Amino acid sequence: MKFICDNPCDTLKAYLDIDRMRQVVTNFVTNAIKYTEEGHIKTGYKVENGNTLYIYCEDTGTGIPEEKKDKVFGRFVKLNDFVQGTGIGLSICHAIAEANHGTIGVESEVGKGSTFWVRIPLIEKPTPFRL
């Protein structure tokens, strides 16, 4: 299996909770490793429309049936009981995306793999907190 990183920017200034974004990528990659035996896992990001950060993890794993795609971000959801894990990783990613005013999703085809993604709006600087 091949691991590919797609980092198109030399630098990217963004006000994000880097630990939470790292957690999202880690969960995406961990799931990809569980379901991918051959081919590749590719992670990366890009800036869309100058104001949205798109982070993704693409794999050539088993894929997700259409009827189960809308359930993968639920708490304690496991699509395969024989694969290690508790089923909360993607629900945590969903909560992180929402807390950052973003969206999360998956594109998948059985036998061809999946791409999990998160879109987070970029801000130039944080809004100061005032009482």
> pLDDT tens digits for 112-125?
999 999 999 987 76
Closest CA to 12 of 49, 53, 43: 53
> pLDDT tens digits for 26-41?
999 999 999 999 999 9
Q: Which CATH number fits domain 2-121: 3.90.79.10, 3.30.565.10, 3.40.50.1970, 3.10.20.70?
A: 3.30.565.10
Closest CA to 32 of 92, 127, 113: 113
pLDDT band at 76 (very low <50, low <70, confident <90, very high): low
Side chain identity at 52, as an amino acid letter? T
What pTM value is reported for the model?
A: 0.87
- Structural contact between residues 2 and 34, judged by C-beta atoms closer than 8 angstroms: no
Report domain extents, the chain: 2-121
- Structural contact between residues 17 and 76, judged by C-beta atoms closer than 8 angstroms: no
Q: What are the backbone angles phi and psi of residue 10, rounded to the nearest 5°?
A: -65, -40
